[in-house]
Amino acid sequence: MINIRKTKVFLACIVMVTFSFLLSTSSVNDAYASQNSDQKPFSWDNATVYFAITDRFNDGNRGNNDSYGRPQKDAWGQNIGTFHGGDLQGLTDKLNEGYFTDLGINTIWISAPYEQIHGWVGGGSDGDFAHYAYHGYYALDYTTVDQNMGTVEEMREFVNTAHEQGIRVVLDVVMNHPGYNTIKDMNEYGFGNPGVSEDWTPGEGQTWHDVHNHIHYDDASPWSTWWGPWVRAGIGGYESCGNSETTMCLAGLPDFRTELTHSVGLPPLLETKWSQERREGYEDWIVPTASDLRRDLDIAPADYIVQWLAAWVEEFGIDGFRIDTAKHVELFRWQQLKDAANEALWSWREENPDAPGASWTDDFWMVGEVWGHGVGRSEYFDYGFDSIINFTFQGEHGNGPAYRLDTMEDTFSHYANQINMDASFNVLSYLSQHDTHLYPRERLVDGGTYLMLLPGGVKLFYGDETARPFGPTGSDPQQGTRSSMNWDSVHEDVLSHWQKMGQFRNNHLAIGAGAHKQIGTNPYTFSRTYVEDGVDDRVVVTVGATGETTIDVSSVFSDGQTVRDFYTGDSTVVENGKATFAAHQNGVILVETEGETIPSVSASPQGGEFSSEELEVTLSVLQAESGAYTIDGSDPKEKGTPFADGEVLTIGSDLAIDESLTLRLFAKNEAGEAEAEYTFTKVPPYPHVFADPPGGSFSGDSLEVTLHVQNVGEGAYSVNGAAEQSFMDGDAITIGEGTEAGEEVTLQLKAENEFGSTEEMYTFIKSPGLTAYFKNPDTWGTPHIYYYETEPKVEEPSWGSAPEMELVENGWYKYTIEGAESARVLFKDAGANQWPGPGEEGFYRDQDGWFDGEWHSEKPVQANDITIYYKTSWTNPHIHYSLNQEAWTTLPGVPLNSSEYEGYAKITIETEEGSQLRAAFNNGRGQWDNNQGRDYVFHSGINTLADGVIVRGTP
């Protein structure tokens, strides 16, 4: 069950109660570092990824700092865009110091280590600094290690050292473009017509951009010895840049023609370069597995790049790629790269069986940068991607939930519901990013807590854990996010907090990969549980703890169990389902069991009613060799039947209608005992009918609806009151043909058997078009919507004529693109604001939706609203209520709507902060549920009322 609640919290005060993969020494850092990393369960779903811009992280070998003549300060004395000296040796040194294990890191993402362009381009909009390729996004040669980064052997040592500590290695890679032309490279490799020597620098009154005034870009002949037909560049002799995402020259960079499927030979630039490198002296940097790929292979340009990148995997055992500018390359190329890299990884493991990490069994991992992507499954996951970077946590404009701490529960519930209920995708969320913003330095304790508790994968941008300050930035606001690591001014309190939070996350798969459930409100408390693949990991987190704090841990721990605070080393014993701790001054308590983990037993399904003749129940026992069960209510400890984990028990054949049986489970190990009890009741096999989809709007000429009938051979359906027709379970019908936009189609389903009859009615509305709702930011003017690539094609606006959206309520605006079933949309105002940002692709939409930084299929519940899920069998339930002790609604009250949960009706009532709602329920015909005359009381957030009990969150 995923419970969702919005609440205001203070992240500096946190209590966490955990269960599984436990430490047994009093020193947190020492205990963590002493663990055998190979034995720690790993899942990419719980990845904690440290992104280090290698050049800016740590200088371990000063001897490579001036490679290719790259200075650490440009001719104007600035180091905004120069190489600073960080290298692979520096990363290895920090691994050996235990820096990453102390942070709980299980994956390191580093800048592209292959050779970059040697020279500079003008930096920033004003050309006020020299911009070198320190970040790894301006490729020159994929077959060699960039000498500023280190050597082949230093690369191998870094990967092996990381693997020895259980840490995966991910490389940043680019397939969309190589680097710019620079006068350094033009003079060195003899391409283009630079017009000046490589030593040119701007004079008085000039900027670094003025170098282009000397370069002859229209002179086709000398440019033929650059990349040739491999790229489109819009200069003499080259194909012009296109207008689509895959053919545009992003930021003026030459665009690899990745769509080509035939050979166009080698790039002349690389032929020249490789010819120069045939003499001795380059073997320290040429990747051995790529050495045989430095020749004409008679394949297309993208095929070369795929093979070159896969060579890094096969040579070093690289575990994953972070794909830059993913949407600017054809999707099939990403699947090709994934397949090649995965094959290369398994080849490396076979060829190097004794190497650290060779025994790992996870496939190659790929995460992509798709600008503006949020928490949702997209087409990229069908083409090799395991994860996509989540831009919506930070928010493209710094307006994501990371800054709104009162949305913590909403964010956790939403992410867990989206990510951990669908194994086919994941996201990688971040606080700070090299091409957006740094998270406020004064809020990094709170931010670190929020990030490290997120479901899904998370990315720690280097220096967030040390409060690395924003650096010199010039006229490019993103350069300052990439300042050198502040080793001489580490904020120790911030670092200590991130270390404990990171270790806690890395110890518990449940944090990133588990199911989320809210279990308390004051202080805010939730659990995460992960029971899968032989792993039983359970976590309880309380936020807002001060002083002595008592927590209800009954859903995780057993009475008598000794638990210990990971944060302070204090221990306590669970009594009456409660654990009490003295919170650290940061308010953080991280509790784990001492010694061996007690066993756990469970059954699936977990009791309830069934109408079939027999029912299969799967039994589970973890942390014990076997368990025992009884089905007659007797004590399984005394005379239970043994069972193994995963054993299937068949029950019910000897039960009469309305009879019940009790399944009791028991298991024991040295740490303690576990028991569980489930009641199953056989009920009459009443007929049941339902449609998929269950009503709603649709676009297009028609809609296919699948009909279901259970406990009887066939049912009957009628469309718009027409004559009934029979159907069998799983039959599909087509409705809506000839229906005009805005018209309704009604579908009635019926079924009958010896135990009774049933009837369901569904209403479908043909959409008049595609509707987008937009939550307008406070700093915007009235929003407009720009749309294109409509399907079917309708009249599309120009950028300047983008239509104004209509105000609906509370800052929400809407617009319907009449006649369209799908389109790409961007939101803008009359000023400079737009979402997605300039140069970015519009959101693809093929269904109505609400956008507030993330897309929702229905209007998102606001923090102050009261949402109620009411469990009922009534066909027409109503709620009769009084808000804040004001007048009651007129009887019988307000009808509830059907919900996404079977057996529950739903309503959302808009309220102000601190509101209280007193309510009773009825069936519209005089039958009441009023809590035995006491009424029910609800507060802001999401509430579920079932069987007279209110709990926070969804069913």
Catalytic annotation, residues: 324, 369
- 3-state helix, strand, coil split of the chain in percent (to 5) is 20, 30, 50
Cβ contacts of 531 within 8 Å, gap of 6 or more: 537, 600, 602, 620, 622
Burial category of 404 from C-beta neighbours within 10 Å (exposed 0-12, middle 13-18, buried 19 and up) = middle
Residues belonging to the chain = 955
Q: Where are the beta strands (DSSP E) in 240-339?
A: 255-256, 320-323
* Cα 290–chain centre separation: 33
Whether 114 and 313 have beta carbons less than 8 Å apart is answered as no
**From CA 44, how far away is CA 320, in angstroms rounded?**
10
**From CA 672, how far away is CA 598, in angstroms rounded?**
5
Cα three-residue angle 264-265-271, rounded to 5 degrees: 145
Position 142: which residue type? Y
**From CA 415, how far away is CA 410, in angstroms rounded?**
8
**From CA 42, how far away is CA 107, in angstroms rounded?**
10
Handedness of CA 323, 324, 327, 330 (dihedral sign): negative
Examine residue 523 and say whether the peptide bond preceding it is cis (omega within 30 degrees of 0).
yes
Cβ contacts of 470 within 8 Å, gap of 6 or more: 438, 441, 480, 481, 483
**From CA 451, how far away is CA 469, in angstroms rounded?**
19
Which residues sit opposite 788 in a β-bridge?
Answer: 824
Alpha carbon of 854 to those of 622, 713, 835: distances in Å? Answer: 38, 44, 11
DSSP for residue 286: B
Buried/exposed 343-354: b ≥16 CB within 10 Å, e otherwise: ebbeebbeebee
Whether 520 and 544 have beta carbons less than 8 Å apart is answered as no
Alpha carbon of 459 to those of 162, 365, 393, 453, 464: distances in Å? Answer: 17, 15, 11, 12, 10
Whether 922 and 878 have beta carbons less than 8 Å apart is answered as yes
**From CA 405, how far away is CA 544, in angstroms rounded?**
12
660: part of which helix (H) or strand (E)? strand 660-669
Quickly tell me which residue has 């991910």 as its tokens. 170
What the block records as the tokens of 63 is 């001897």
DSSP for residue 181: P
Pairing verdict, β 231-232 and 168-173: unpaired
What is the 3-state secondary structure of 130-166? Answer: EECCCCCCCEEEEEEECCCCCCHHHHHHHHHHHHHCC
Bin 924: left if φ > 0, else alpha if -120 < ψ < 50, else beta. left
Whether 165 and 100 have beta carbons less than 8 Å apart is answered as yes
DSSP string for 404-431 = -GGGHHHHHHHHHHHHTT-TT--EEEES
